[in-house]
Amino acid sequence: MFAAAANRLGYCVHTFSPENDPAAPGVNDVTASYEDSAALSKFAKNVSVVTFASENVPPKTIATLSKLVPVRPSLIALETTQHRAREKTFLSKTGFPVTPFRIIKSVQEGSRAIQDLPGPWVLKTAGFGSDGLGQRNISSEEDLKKAFKTNGSPGFILETFVDFECELSVIAARSENGEFAHYGVMQNEHRRRVLDLTVFPAPVGAPIIRRVVDLTRHILKELQVVGVMCVEYFLTKRGDIWINELVPRPHNSGHLTIDACATSQFDQQLRAVCGLPLGPTDMIHSAAMANLLGDLWVDGAPQWERVLSLPDVKLHLYGKKEPRKGRKMGHITALAATAADARRKVLAARSLLTSAN
How confident is the model over 90-127, as pLDDT tens digits? 999 999 999 989 999 888 998 999 999 988 999 988 87
DSSP class of residue 187 equals: E
**134 C-beta neighbours (distance < 10 Å), count:** 19
CATH class belonging to 100-160: alpha beta
Say if strands 156-160 and 121-125 run parallel, antiparallel, or are unpaired.
Answer: antiparallel
Q: What is the pLDDT of residue 98?
A: 94
Taking 3-state DSSP, the helix, strand and coil percentages for the chain, each rounded to the nearest 5, stand at 35, 25, 40
In angstroms, rounded to a whole number, what is the distance separating the alpha carbons of residues 28 and 150?
42
Read off the pLDDT of each residue in 58-74 and give the average, rounded to a whole number: 94
Number of alpha helices (DSSP H) and beta strands (DSSP E) in the chain:
12, 15
146 by DSSP, 3-state: which?
A: helix
Asked if the model's pLDDT at residue 56 lies above 80, the reply is yes
* 201: preceding bond cis by omega (within 30 degrees): yes
Q: Where are the domains of the chain?
A: 2-71, 100-160, 164-352
In angstroms, rounded to a whole number, what is the distance separating the alpha carbons of residues 285 and 45?
42
Asked if the model's pLDDT at residue 240 lies above 80, the reply is yes
Is the four-CA dihedral 293, 298, 301, 302 of positive or negative sign?
negative
- Under CATH, what is the fold of the domain 2-71? Rossmann fold (3.40.50)
Q: What is the pLDDT of residue 133?
A: 57
Of the candidate ranges 7-21, 125-139, 275-289, the one whose mean pLDDT is the lowest: 125-139
DSSP class of residue 253 equals: G
Q: What is the pLDDT of residue 255?
A: 98
User: What percent of the chain has pLDDT above 90?
Assistant: 76
Nearest to 134 by CA among 194, 187, 55, 190: 194
**Distance in Å from the first CA to the final CA of the chain:** 32
Q: What is the pLDDT of residue 141?
A: 86
Read off the pLDDT of each residue in 149-169 and give the average, rounded to a whole number: 84
CATH node for 164-352: 3.30.470.20
Asked if the model's pLDDT at residue 22 lies above 80, the reply is no
